[in-house]
Amino acid sequence: MDKDSSKLQPDTIAIRGGYQRSHENEHSEAMFLTSSYVFENAATAAKYFSNELQGNVYSRYTNPTVRSFEQRLAAMEEGEQCVATASGMAAALSVIMAFLQSGDHVVCSQDVFGSTRVMMDKYITKFGVTVTYVPLANLDAWRSAIQPNTKMMFCETPSNPMSEIADLEALSAIAKQSDALFVVDNCFCTPVLQKPLLWGADIVVHSATKYIDGQGRCLGGAVVGSAELMEQVVGFLRAAGPTLSAFNAWVFLKGLETLRVRMQAHSANAAALAEWLNAHPKVTKVYYAGLPDHAGHELAKKQQSDFGGVVSFCVNGGQEAAWQVIDSTKMLSLTANLGDTKTTIVHPATTTHGRLSSEARAAAGIVDGLIRVAVGLEDIIDIKADLELGLSAL
Ligand SMILES: *Cc1c(COP(=O)(O)O)cnc(C)c1O
């Protein structure tokens, strides 16, 4: 990076932020595929290991390509520091391991990503941390769930698959009042559409696997926040090892460069599809915060610059009908992934949210007739035509 990146516009930061050329003067960012680094002599090695000298020692600790991705994403989120992780789940885990201990309590939105919920319910509780789930958009429920030992509030907005919207400013006020860390999973919006730190969140977590990659190739994640908080996350990562590989960091670094144009195109396609589905006789309800009658529409307009690429809808006839729609499409990819150039379709109740109890699923509104579409970048004419094939099978 030749110029002070804080003086550059967001689109420029996404393309040029966080990169220092190596002595080879490469134009495209270099990929440093190396597990370790050599030292000039034994005395220097000792200095690196005792932290008297700062530098690369081992890629579980630092790697130049991973560092570039971290610096670029931190600048895009307007956070001080970013710590890259092996997956989105590793990002959430690292935050939990860094800041919680036995006896602590977490308040979490009930419709967080399925694995986040399984991690909390099955594993975090094993270490004496308790979790209370609340409806994402119900501020009173958040307030009354707070206990004297509440150390963290965790939410995801917009939610998956219902596109519910959290009031980030109000939630951060509740967190501050109760001395809890406010953590926001910003996977669905990316910093292009929403910057939770600017609304008072303490920490942002990402699954870079989704829109940051953008083409469904690599797994990865990231945590962003103040230098002080990130130091603790780095400590866990270095000791425990869920670090991001240099190869994946390189893919994500390139992904960030096209993120804005992709997010705008995903959002435009999704908005067009949501409107079309809303008028479709076989569709009973559409969930997309871009629709004016969606409960979170005004809030989304306030804190997001667009509505993102995920649209969910219901058909009559429960699971059988939903499966029939899905199986009658020809082009859409039947996969749980999202944030890909290719449009994906999935039945949440029997896949992404299948591990939840039926009560938890019902509370999150994930009924058997619900279908989620993560709208890609194909021509909207072809996406609609394929879904029409599916819906006309009913
Ligand atoms: C996919 C996803 C995750 C988990 O990320 P992985 O990279 O699959 O571990 C977390 N949160 C949200 C919102 C996701 O969509």
Mean pLDDT over 145-157 rounds to 98
The rounded mean pLDDT for the chain is 96
Query: What would the mean pLDDT of 132-148 be, rounded to a whole number?
Result: 97
103: nearest Cα among 123, 120, 125, 134: 125
Is residue 4's pLDDT more than 80? Answer: no
Q: Over 90: is that where the pLDDT of 114 sits? A: no
Of all protein residues, the one whose alpha carbon is nearest to atom 5 of ligand 1 is 88
- In this prediction, residues 185-214 reach a mean pLDDT of 98
pLDDT at 360: 81
How far away, in angstroms, is 207 Cα from ligand 1 center? 5
The 3-state secondary structure of the chain reads CCCCHHHCCHHHHHHHCCCCCCCCCCCCCCCCCCCECCCCCHHHHHHHHCCCCCCCCECCCCCHHHHHHHHHHHHHHCCCEEEEECCHHHHHHHHHHHHCCCCCEEEEECCCCHHHHHHHHHHHHHHCCEEEEECCCCHHHHHHHCCCCEEEEEEECCCCCCCCCCCHHHHHHHHHHCCCEEEEECCCCHHHHCCHHHHCCCEEEEECCCCCCCCCCCCCEEEEECHHHHHHHHHHHHHHCCECCHHHHHHHHHHHHCHHHHHHHHHHHHHHHHHHHHCCCCEEEEECCCCCCCCCHHHHHHHCCCCCCEEEEEECCHHHHHHHHHHHCCCCEECCCCCCCCCEEECHHHCCCCCCCHHHHHHCCCCCCEEEEECCCCCHHHHHHHHHHHHHCC
The yes/no answer on whether domain 5-257 falls in CATH 3.40.640.10 is yes
Q: Are 212 and 337 in contact (CB under 8 A)?
A: no
Where are the chain's structural domains?
A: 5-257, 261-392
Mean pLDDT for 83-100 is 98
CATH topology of domain 261-392: Aspartate Aminotransferase, domain 1 (3.90.1150)
Taking only the tens place, the pLDDT of each residue in 234-285 is: 999 999 999 999 999 999 999 999 999 999 999 999 999 999 999 999 999 9
Q: Determine which residue's CA is closest to atom 8 belonging to ligand 1.
A: 88
Say yes or no: CB of residue 185 within 6 Å of ligand 1.
yes
Pairing of strands 105-109, 130-134: parallel
* Residue 2 pLDDT exceeds 50: no
Distance CA 255, CA 326 (A): 29
pLDDT in the model for residue 1: 46
For the stretch 26-81, pLDDT in tens is 999 999 999 999 999 999 999 999 999 999 999 999 999 999 999 999 999 999 99
The answer to whether the CB of 160 is under 6 A from ligand 1 is yes
> What predicted TM-score, i.e. pTM, was given to this entire model?
0.96
Q: With a cut of 60, say whether residue 215 has pLDDT above it.
A: yes
Ligand 1 center to 266 CA (angstroms): 18
Q: Give dist(CA 232, CA 262) in Å, integer.
A: 33
Residue 219 CB less than 6 A away from ligand 1: yes
Bigger pLDDT: 7 or 248?
248
**What is the C-alpha to C-alpha distance for residues 98 and 232, in angstroms, rounded to an integer?**
6
- Cα distance between residue 243 and residue 231, in whole Å: 14
| pLDDT score of 43 | 97
pLDDT tens-place string over residues 277-327:
999 999 999 999 999 999 999 999 999 999 999 999 999 999 999 999 999
Please report, rounded to a whole number, the percentage of residues in the chain having pLDDT higher than 70.
98
The answer, yes or no, to whether any atom of ligand 1 lies below 6 A from the CB of 161, is: no
Q: In the structure, what pLDDT confidence band is assigned to residue 368 with cuts at 50, 70 and 90? A: very high
Do 232 and 239 contact (CB within 8 A), yes or no? no
**Longest distance between any two alpha carbons in the chain, whole Å:** 75
- 1-10, 201-210, 299-308, 310-319: lowest mean pLDDT where? 1-10
Mean pLDDT of all residues in 362-375: 92
What's the token pair of residue 200? Answer: 């008072």
Mutate to test the pocket of ligand 1, among 89, 156, 188 (most ligand atoms within 8 A of CB): 89
Cβ of 77 less than 6 Å from ligand 1: no
Higher pLDDT, 103 or 111: 103
Per-residue pLDDT at 37: 96
